[in-house]
Amino acid sequence: MLKRSLTGAIAALALALPATAQETYTIGLTGAMTGPAAGTLGPAVEGLRLYIDQLNAKGGIDGRKVNLILQDDSAEASKAAANVKRLVAQDNVPVLVNASLSSTYAPMLAETRRAGVPVLFMGAVCPKEVLPPNADPLQFCSTGFAQTYDSRAALEYVKSVAKGPVNVGYAAMAIPVSRSEIDFAASEAEKMGFKTVAKEVIPPPTPDYTPFATKIKDAGANWAFSWAPWVTEIRTFEALRRLGWDGQFLTIAHLEAEGELPRVKDPKFYVMGANSFYADGLPIHKEIEAAAKSGGAKYPANQMTEGWLGGLALEAALRKAGWPATKEKIAAAMSDLKVDTKGLRGVPMVWTKDNHFRTQQAYRVYHWDGNKISVLQDWKVYDVGK
């Protein structure tokens, strides 16, 4: 009798354990956690991990924990494809995050489209497929920087502050998304009356930026603009200064930007971005700093904004999808979502059926004023798709 009761109890427990394991929300991620792009994308992954850890510590979503499965792809397309195949086929993730270079997109999307799984690009550059008016139903982006919108905003800023003729030298990384954005910027600049004097496309593993900077300087540029991974932006600028160039340099404020401004200490080095800096001292910044400290973060807290914003968006989508959160329900929830960015951005992040980037984008310009990081241009809001 005892043996029969014990056997029944074990069987009941065996049945109960899988059910308990399934009572969690699951998110899969492939990202550049190692390799040459890790300095830019690794902090976004860590920011999301810390966000999910904090969410789970508070009880998860309606009492259910969130299981975040991280896979490193080192920004290699083949690894990203293998990661996604495993996450979709073996782990059955109903939503996937990409935090890697654009070279991983095509093989990753081949797998997610086949499986009908929605993808959030987080910290990674937003593909054009998320933009209105024909957003892909399975692609979404929470990343602050974006093609065409960044360049238009940057050039408008230059026009608002420039005195006299503007001769622009451009610096791109030799990857498709950076090259195309610099081409777009140069075209838009010409419409504003600016003159393009140099356009340098720099290979990623470049030990010496001097030859490229020399061409920009010798061409007579008094402004320089770069839309590329941070390594290209900052090293091009520093090479120009070593050559004695005294022009003004505007670039996109990637995750590394806030930590670099006090190091560079150059008032004519301007960074424009959609994310607020921790120098602003907002409550959300202090919350992230505390999470980074308690969570043993590898990266500085001020580099984790993109990951935290991704966490805010995913939590909002999962809550709206309800339980069980199937891939279909999550995709539907993400297609009609408003996310309070809590001051990390100048405006809420709103996704609609036709717009999976956001309905508004706000930009700030920061620089080192000689003593501290300060705001040169406060939030300027642009309607996306208009």
Nearest to 40 by CA among 74, 69, 71, 68: 74
Per-residue pLDDT at 386 = 65
Q: pLDDT digits over 317-364, tens only?
A: 999 999 999 999 999 999 999 999 999 999 999 999 999 999 999 999
3-class secondary structure per residue, 57-92 = HCCCECCECEEEEEEECCCCHHHHHHHHHHHHHCCC
Q: Does residue 274 surpass a pLDDT of 50?
A: yes
The residue-averaged pLDDT of 242-265 equals: 96
CB atoms within 10 A of CB 325: 23
Per-residue pLDDT at 79 = 97
> Could you tell me whether strands 195-202 and 119-121 are parallel, antiparallel, or unpaired per DSSP bridges?
unpaired
Dist CA 83 CA 87 (whole Å): 6
Dist CA 37 CA 354 (whole Å): 31
Dist CA 103 CA 81 (whole Å): 11
**Which domains are present in the chain?**
10-145+280-362 (3.40.50.2300), 149-277+364-383 (3.40.50.2300)
pTM: 0.89
Measured in residues, the chain has a length of 386
Cis peptide before 133 (omega within 30 of 0): yes
Dist CA 145 CA 275 (whole Å): 9
Residue with tokens 């980037």: 357
Per-residue pLDDT at 39 = 86
Q: Which residues are CB-neighbours of 35 under 8 A, at least 6 positions away? A: 74, 75, 76
More confident residue, 141 or 147: 141
Give me the chain's average pLDDT, please. 93
User: Is 165 buried (19+), middle (13-18) or exposed (0-12) by CB count in 10 A?
Assistant: exposed
- 156, containing H or E segment: helix 149-161
Can you read off the two tokens belonging to residue 359? 């309905």
Q: Are the C-beta atoms of 194 and 155 separated by less than 8 Å? A: yes
Q: Are the C-beta atoms of 96 and 118 separated by less than 8 Å? A: yes
Residues paired with residue 168 on neighbouring β-strands, in sequence order? 196, 223
Dist CA 81 CA 73 (whole Å): 9
The residue-averaged pLDDT of 142-168 equals: 94
Q: Does residue 163 surpass a pLDDT of 70?
A: yes
Can you read off the two tokens belonging to residue 149? 């919108």
Instruction: Tell me the pLDDT band of 18, cut-offs 50, 70 and 90.
Output: very low
